[in-house]
Amino acid sequence: MVLRYIIIRPKFGHARVLEAHVEFPNEEDEFFVLDKGFFTLYCRGNMVKLERQLLFADRDNTLMRWKAAMEVANPSQYLSIGGQQSFQDGHYFAIQRIEFANVYWTIIDLLDIFITTQSVSIQPEKLNIILIDAHPKSSLDSFWTVLFQRLIKLNDKDFFKNSNTVVFENLIWRYPRKKSPLLDINLKSSRHIQPFRSFVLKEFGISAAKHLRNCSQQNLNVLVILRRDYESHPRNLAAVIDRKIANEEEVLQEIKTSFPNGNITAAQLDLWPLKAQLETIANTDILFGMHGAAHAFSIFMEPGGVVVEMFNDYSQARNWHMGKIATLSDHSHISWTNSNPKAVNKDTKSTIIPKGLPSSLLKKAVASICSKRHENVFRKNQTMLKSIVFVVFILAFGSLGEALECPTCFSREDGKHCNEIATLKTCTDPNAVCALYYSESSLKGGVYMRYCSSLDRVLTLQALCKNQPAEIEGLGSVTCRAECEGCSFTSVV
């Protein structure tokens, strides 16, 4: 939702954590309660109708609160507000963050913002963010300060110090979180994932270029995520997290022994600066670890990787979120679930990983990556072969830019007979050529085609030729004794 020339009056917003001493704040204490008039939208039309449209446009809980805090006023009332006012041009995006210190939910927010900028044709790095929350600092704050032009909080004295009302030229409200693509269990693909990855890495000064995956020597980059106790935000004062690996050293040793040529990195990522985390992730081929929010980092891995996710029991294995973000990012997802209750220590909140499992999971991951790589190489070679043949055809058939009439006939799939004579077809495209094509199966009686074609129509699965080919057993000396006005050939190698 994009609102033009809308006013924010920060004094109409109240967060308990900012107005009273709260020793152990919960998330609600850090949310703003917005009074009527916090947002004021000026409109010359039917204000009652507009208010109703805004109220029922989306039933999202957060937006409902924001809409309830909005006043719709006639522009003539603008001067009656009084006090100091300022005007901010450009584009601003208002968002209330939930689970602000969790990388998974942060990535959901960032991707939603990126998608919004693409839909309204805004450069994301030129966007200003207004946080409608009073959350404290976290290790993920760099996402907000690096990716966007400016980060503004409602209690930002530098931004609001000279005015009690601020007029925004363009203010965007985020769409309801329930519409986030990463939360759609049925979504099979997203065209926004890779552009989002490139944007984030570029803004952090990290190369998004492909790196070499050496399958012949199994020289791949493996990142083992270590879950260890740490205090991520004020609501985790005990600094204890669950889903840790109880036999961490044994697991790492097994991985290194069974994968000697691999580049193994074992890290507690939350101890690293965010840029260092992203640099490592961008070059990771296999992401390995117990289920946790850090698996969401797979969105920044080069496509074609593998995410290995281990669960300590079947109740947690129902969590599909990390597998979804992995597959949407074009990675394979391999999961394992512990079935031995005795392997789980409820006091230390850790799980013993069985001997042989880490190497088994890694072998599956390597096989997945290398089978994909071989498939991609095969496709690339097929595309190159077709391109080479197409160029040869152009050289054999004469110059471009001529109007060509090609007598055509359809052949059967075995390429040996012409059984339907077609009418003359005139090529009026100045870039057209008279061409013979063959399908990928042509080595074994594939499908041939000869017709007038423009350059962008290279691939085909049908056959056209005035006379049957003299030879079709291989590609070495395929001869078509057809001739067209303005183009002819005797053999194609």
pLDDT (tens digit per residue) in 409-457: 333 333 333 333 333 344 444 444 444 444 333 333 334 444 444 333 3
Q: Could you give the CA distance from residue 34 to residue 438 in angstroms, rounded to a whole number?
A: 67
Extract the runs of DSSP E, i.e. beta strands, from 407-459: 409-411, 418-421, 425-427, 433-438, 448-453
Residue with structure tokens 């004579």? 421
DSSP of 94-140, one letter per residue? EE--SSTT-HHHHHHHHHHHHHHHHHTT--GGG-EEEE-B-----TT
The pLDDT assigned to 52 comes to 66
Report the DSSP beta bridge partners of residue 453. Answer: 433
Domains of the chain: 2-179 (no CATH), 192-371 (3.40.50.360), 405-484 (2.10.60)
Name the CA radius of gyration of the chain, rounded: 31
Distance CA 343, CA 461 (A): 56
- pTM here is 0.73
pLDDT per position as a tens digit, 291-350:
999 999 999 999 999 999 999 998 888 999 999 999 999 999 999 999 999 999 999 999
Q: What is the mean pLDDT of each run of 10 residues along the chain (493 residues)?
A: 87 89 86 92 69 63 80 69 75 94 96 96 96 93 97 82 80 89 94 97 95 87 93 71 94 96 95 97 97 97 97 91 97 96 94 97 95 56 47 41 38 34 40 42 39 36 34 36 33 28
The per-residue pLDDT for 156 is 81
